[in-house]
Amino acid sequence: MGQNSATRLTRHGRTRMQQRGVPPLIVAWLSDYGACWHDHRGAEVRYFNKRARNLLAREVGAAVLTQLSSYLNAYLVTDGAGTVITVGYRIRRIRH
């Protein structure tokens, strides 16, 4: 973990970040700590599951995570090279 902190964004990804109000810190945390699900078409979806939230809480502290809890339903989609394609908020559970 911690290897993706310099996150590359497409223009679409940057626009969606701004439109949906996802801070760059959350995108960096998703890249570094988020659970990964492969869609088998070359993209990866990263999101905070229970394990990722617990790991993040150990790294940044539970108080910080509580303050930013409204952002923990965020997700991002990356291409095979790790470039962020889009960002949003989950309204349903990600099923594999």
Q: Where are the domains of the chain?
A: 11-89
pTM for the full model? Answer: 0.84
Q: What is the pLDDT of residue 95?
A: 67
21: number of Cβ within 10 Å: 12
Q: What is the pLDDT of residue 85?
A: 94
Q: What is the mean pLDDT of residues 18-22?
A: 95
Give every CB contact of residue 78 below 8 A, 6+ residues apart in sequence.
31, 43, 44, 46, 84, 85
Q: Which of 88, 71, 83, 89 is nearest to 11 (CA)?
A: 83
pLDDT digits (tens, 9 = 90+) for 35-91: 999 888 889 999 999 999 999 999 999 999 999 999 999 999 999 888 999 999 987
